[in-house]
A = this chain, B = another copy of it.
């Protein structure tokens, strides 16, 4: 991948965070990247090509910040690791904002666009299973089906809270607090089973 392409993809991530997937205009992208529109069509086949590669680009970035951990390690308890993982998606940084906006757009677009659904389902499954595994470490004696259900709820809630945060309904600190409360509530629920 040429550095020009990377430059354009970084600009695309910013434009998508500002205007949404469906609000991205090639001309605005060109201005943001400081290049001509023609150059974008030279490096990417068409507007859809830009979108696909940008979503991929953003996804890679998200995996990176999700897994980067511990320069020198104070080992986390399972509960801390679970909360950490969930709360990583609720931070007011440029990167998380861009990724969450793009994820929300992807989810919302998929409602009206069959083509996106498969990618979305796959990514969601991975995410749910990761959370279920972490829950299993906190509550070792709970059946897998109950863990899976709790994980689905926590991740769905995370998406809901992200949207409220991004759409200005709640502040980020409040979102984080609510998320921690949900973990507590779910763990209380699992305990009773």
Which residues from chain A sit less than 8 Å from chain B, CB to CB?
18-20, 22-23, 101, 104-105, 107-112, 117, 120-121, 124, 149-150, 152-153, 155-161, 163-164, 166-170, 177-178, 181-182, 184-186, 188-189, 191-192
Q: Chain A binding site: helix, strand, loop or mixed by DSSP?
A: helix
* A164, closest chain B residue (CB): B156
Cα A175 to Cα B82 with chains together (Å):
23
Copies of this chain present: 2
Contact residue among B156, B169, B192 (Cβ-Cβ distance under 8 Å from A160): B156
Which of A112, A161, A170: most chain B CB closer than 10 A?
A112
Cα A140 to Cα B110 with chains together (Å):
41
**What residues on B are CB-neighbors of A182 within 8 Å?**
153, 157
Cα A55 to Cα B146 with chains together (Å):
38
Cα A38 to Cα B192 with chains together (Å):
62
**What residues on B are CB-neighbors of A191 within 8 Å?**
188
Contact A111 B104 (CB under 8 A): yes
Cα A23 to Cα B63 with chains together (Å):
30
Which of A104, A156, A186, A192: most chain B CB closer than 10 A?
A156
Write 21 A-B pairs (CB below 8 A) sorted by A numbering. A20-B22, A20-B108, A20-B112, A105-B111, A107-B108, A108-B167, A111-B166, A117-B167, A117-B168, A117-B169, A121-B168, A121-B169, A152-B170, A153-B178, A156-B157, A156-B160, A156-B161, A157-B160, A158-B160, A160-B163, A185-B186
